[in-house]
Structure 1
């Protein structure tokens, strides 16, 4: 199998996963709260991630996109595309800041250290990575994903074998969970819309740097399927252990700690790695919008934006998430709609061309 396709897939997954996904809190609210119907939600989300990943990768490779702007202009046209570019670039920076704030919160909660120290640690790690060449950035962002996948497999297997509640009790507890939408399918769509807006810029840039469309589209599909599998595994683990997770801020961390103290520490490291992947992805795509990667200007812009972000991250993770993430979800819905329309048009042209050719 193509090595670059898997690197692209893991980078796509790593940017989207972030701290909320890895901690289990997002999965709990977007999927698990719907009970057994959440299985259908995970399948729908996985399909959307695979379809959207394929389309974005293919378009970016065709355009040889140097930033997400090129793809947006193709999808939305000049004026609307410029507006979307401005909004998405702004929100990229906002999500990057949220990742710095998330590290600060984790350092405070897990280690009793100052949030500013956690934010500084992630800022230095992020800007240091951005000063490397693009290939090494892709390698580093994608490296953490297999580690998380192994941890989730272990946690899921353990949680299924050690679950001590009957299904009726678990489904009752699931119905009491706070969910983001009145129906599981809408919850899955909202989850995909928010996260594709997060993953789109990085996926566009790394796909645009490769000329082999077959490789990049394969990477987009593998990454989307991988995200669906991860969501399903985390969802199953949470659903079968809801009776032991009441009030847990970091559900997957709580499950890992039940396996062993070592597993708990490894899961904490895994969550930090996922925050790191998303942070690098956001600041990379943000900087790539204003400067060509691997240039002195790009590195200076990355360092400046990183430390400005550090200052703004002191507002706090919860406040940032409550402000930035819902608005980004609406932007993601527009992006999904535009990608769907573009796919339909291309498919229609291909069908028409095939019919014309067969008639001659």
Structure 2
């Protein structure tokens, strides 16, 4: 894995971790509520992450894509691609709002601050970062990833070994954990929940992954980065899911479960974990507001910076609806868009799996974009 592959893998993981499972709240709703069977659901999500990351990064590299919109037009055609782009952009903005709310909940749970304070601080950081160039944004997102991975893994593994609840007791508690809802109804089983989790997160990671893939002219390296990032995400989800299940008896009603696990080990570790969570949430918030702002203006321009600041401030206001409520509302809806993306990406792979990068690059549709 060369430096391009590594950067793609780290950035892919960073964006999804902040939006998908850094707090533990999402994994709790999507997987842990199904008991031990939820572990199988997390394996389903892991396989999908690797496959989808590979294909998106490869297509973007071949196209030398400058935005996710170009990739969508190749996958769906110009008219349908435009519709999907508008819908996806709308829900990505919703995820950005969720991240601002998550920052408020994290600082509130750890330091007793009003949720609005944490949300304001995150909004300021997002606006300041979006004033950088694209490469600078990607470098920042990638740089914090190794430390964050070590933190999450260490706390989760330790929590698994220090769990005091029996399997029967934990299984009974899992029945009281509200699982994710989809189209107004609870998702009936772990397999569908794993698919929906992957579909939501690929919708979150798609815009930034498309941009990063387009920065390298090595499709194989880009594909390897997508696979590596996807498998890394899968391992983390599985470990975190097991850790949450092992401590489920003390996580009911907690908005930021991973923070409580850190607090149980040592108060100072909880402080470090809260800072790590803020960094994870920050990376996703930047990715979401970047993707949304790029829908209306060219990155690195003054218009882009002004619009991004306006969108972030509006998002701050909307974030006061509450973190858990926003997660349960926005994520399943974005999952529908993600399902459409998964189908389109799978069909693209079926059509092009036997074609070389050179043959694909010569495709008139690719050259046109």
Length-normalised TM-score, structure 2:
0.89
Deviations 1:77-103 (A, max 9, x none): 121111001111111222112212222
Q: Is residue 9–residue 221 contact of structure 1 (8 Å, CA) maintained in 2?
A: yes
1:278 aligns with 2:284: yes
Q: Which of the pair is proportionally richer in helix? A: 1
Distance in 2 between the 1:246 and 1:281 partners? Answer: 30
Give ranges in structure 1 of 5+ residues lacking alignment: 354-360
Q: Which moved more, 1:293-302 or 1:134-143?
A: 293-302
Per the alignment, residue 115 of structure 1 pairs with 115
Alignment partner, residue 79 of structure 2: 79
Tell me the equivalent position of 2:39.
39
Shift of 1:193: 0.7
Q: 1:289 aligns with which of 272, 295, 312?
A: 295
Verify: 1:255 aligned to 2:270, yes or no: no
Structure 1 residue 138 corresponds to structure 2 residue 123: no
Aligned-residue offset at 1:147: 2.1
The Cα shift of 1:118 comes to 2.0
Counterpart secondary structure, 2:351 = helix
CA distance in 1, matches of 2:321, 2:289: 18
CA positional deviation for 1:51: 0.4
Aligned equivalents of 1:140 and 1:67: distance in 2? 19
* Number of the residue aligned with 1:321: 327
- Determine the C-alpha separation between the residues in 2 that align with 1:308 and 1:246: 32
Provide the secondary structure at the position in 1 that maps to 2:22.
Answer: helix
Q: Which residue pairs with 1:341 in the alignment?
A: 347
Task: Please state if 1:101 is matched with 2:137.
Answer: no
Shift of 1:315: 4.0
What residue is the counterpart of 1:150 in the other structure? 150
CA contact (8 A) 1:66 1:288 kept: no
User: 2:169 aligned with 1:169, yes or no?
Assistant: yes
- Structure 1 residues 175-186: aligned runs within 5 Å: 175-180=175-180, 181-186=187-192
Q: How far apart are residue 226 of structure 1 and its match?
A: 0.8
Whole-Å separation in 1 of the counterparts to 2:40 and 2:228:
19
Aligned equivalents of 2:318, 2:254: Cα separation in 1: 27
The equivalent of 1:125 in structure 2 is 125
Give 2:198's match in structure 1, choosing from 189, 192, 197: 192
Q: Is contact 2:61–2:222 with CA below 8 Å preserved after alignment?
A: yes
Matched residue SS, 1:22: coil
Q: Does the Cα contact within 8 Å between 1:14 and 1:145 map onto a contact in 2?
A: yes
* Residues 19 and 271, structure 1, Cα contact 8 Å, conserved in 2: no
**Distance (Å, rounded) in 1 between the aligned partners of 2:149 and 2:270:** 15
**Which stretch shows the higher mean deviation, 38-47 or 160-169?**
160-169
Q: Within 1, Cα distance between the matches of 2:239 and 2:324? A: 26
C-alpha deviations, 1:291-326, integer Å up to 9, x for none?
332233332332232223223334443454344322
Contact persistence 1:205–1:285 (CA under 8 A): no
**After TM superposition, which residue ranges in structure 1, 4 or more long, deviate above 6 angstroms?**
none
Greater CA drift, 115-124 or 212-221: 115-124
Q: What stretches of structure 2 of length at least 5 have no aligned partner? A: 181-186, 360-369
Counterpart position of 2:362: none
Q: Tell me how far 1:349 sits from its aligned partner.
A: 6.2
Deviates further, 55-64 or 14-23? 14-23
Residue number among 201, 223, 245 corresponding to 2:251 in the alignment: 245
Shift of 1:73: 0.9
- Native 8 Å contact 1:66 1:292 kept in 2: no
